[in-house]
Amino acid sequence: MTAGRILARARDKGEFSGAAWAYGTSAGPVGRDTLGTLRWDGAPVGDDTLWDLASLTKPIVGLAVMALVETGELTLDDTVVSHLPGYAGTDKASVTVFELLTHTSRIPGRQPLYRRCPTREDLLDALIRLPLRERPGVEYSSQGFMILGLVAESAAGVPLDQLVRERVTTPLGMDGTRFLLPEHDRARAAATEDCPWRGRIVQGTVHDENAEVLGGVAGHAGMFGTLDDLARLGRALCRGGDGVIAPRTLAVMTGTRTGGRALAWQGHEPHLSSGGDLLTASAYGHNGFTGTSLWVDPDLDFYAVLLTNRVHPSRASDGIARIRRTFHNAAVTRALA
């Protein structure tokens, strides 16, 4: 079954209203298409559709962080307090950039801070006061990436959205990928959840509630992007970074594995990975909660982008897990045929 047919069947089952996908090699795309609508009662998905990338924001921010490492503005052993003096005397003062990137900081993840923090200032204060886990280990932590974004801003001396634009998206020509969509662009974004907290269907503003409270710009979520932009990023990574970061820096970023985690990326694990069953041990990628993903396999010279709005109108379904796996199996088979 083709990748497109897999996604068409998933839409028929109500898993998402729309999808866009591309896969290929460093030489260019092998497969690319779109299907469905921006919302179940909306306009068709198009080439210019904007997708809420959710946690796929994390590795894009991670690339900006590694660019700062290359220029000496950061090191992986820098501590939080060395860039954020407000953390002095807290249990997170000695947490390092490396630990934030690899989700080994012991900062608890999946914390719905927005429920008790109505303002950005309230949420940032709650982050400072959030107790560390007692035992070391890997725990996926969006809260850690919120702090990483603040560290990166401090090191670079510019806001996070400007940093990502200058160090990643502009050099790669990803002109449609950004934080904070202008109001006139929101109608061409794929809708996400009918959100009980907001009391409406979210379209064109960030789905992640914590990122919403933070103003839409955060280290863990908030970016929107187009299919062609994400495919451009996939090809750049197949080419060793394409000038955003050096090949040796990308090798450190993606080859250093701690409990299956690379620096801002998830390593590929057979029989467990959303990247499917056919990628090699060198593969790395990341998912977004809204139904997005990017996977790259440098040994196979392969990338795959999958963009859906699987949380529309509800996050209740978990069907995306198998859809991702079967999609990637079909895509890599076709790309390398």
Residue 272 has pLDDT above 90, yes or no: no
Q: How many percent of the chain have pLDDT more than 70? A: 100
Residue 270: pLDDT band (50, 70, 90) is confident
Mean pLDDT of the chain: 97
The tens digit of pLDDT for each residue in 171-184 reads 999 999 999 999 99
The closest of 9, 40, 23, 18 to 329, measured between CA atoms, is 23
The tens digit of pLDDT for each residue in 158-167 reads 999 999 999 9
**Phi, psi at 23, each rounded to 5°:** -150, 155
**What architecture is the 64-162 domain classified under in CATH?**
Up-down Bundle (1.20)
Which whole-number Å values give the CA distances from 254 to 209, 248, 249, in the listed order? 29, 10, 9
The closest of 153, 98, 96, 90 to 125, measured between CA atoms, is 90
Q: Give the model's pLDDT for residue 74.
A: 98
pLDDT (mean) for 46-54: 98
- Residue 324, token pair as written in the block: 């991702």
Residue 269 has pLDDT above 90, yes or no: no
Provide DSSP, 195-236: ETTTTEE--SS---HHHHHTTS--SSS-EEE-HHHHHHHHHH
pLDDT (mean) for 236-251: 97
The tens digit of pLDDT for each residue in 107-124 reads 999 999 999 999 999 999
- Whether 280 and 296 have beta carbons less than 8 Å apart is answered as no
CB proximity list for 82: less than 8 A, separation 6 or greater: none
Tell me where in the chain the CATH 3.40.710.10 domain(s) lie. 3-56+173-336
The closest of 283, 278, 281 to 294, measured between CA atoms, is 283
Determine which one of 55, 141, 142, 274 is catalytic.
55
Residue 246 has pLDDT above 90, yes or no: yes
Q: How many percent of the chain have pLDDT more than 90? A: 96
Report the C-alpha gap between 135 and 244 in whole angstroms.
36
The tens digit of pLDDT for each residue in 187-204 reads 999 999 999 999 999 999
pLDDT (mean) for 286-291: 98
Tell me where in the chain the CATH 1.20.58 domain(s) lie. 64-162
Coil/strand/helix, residue 34: strand
3-56+173-336 in CATH: which number? 3.40.710.10
Residue 317: pLDDT band (50, 70, 90) is confident
pLDDT (mean) for 26-46: 97
pLDDT (mean) for 271-285: 94
274: annotated active-site residue = no
- Whether 227 and 32 have beta carbons less than 8 Å apart is answered as yes
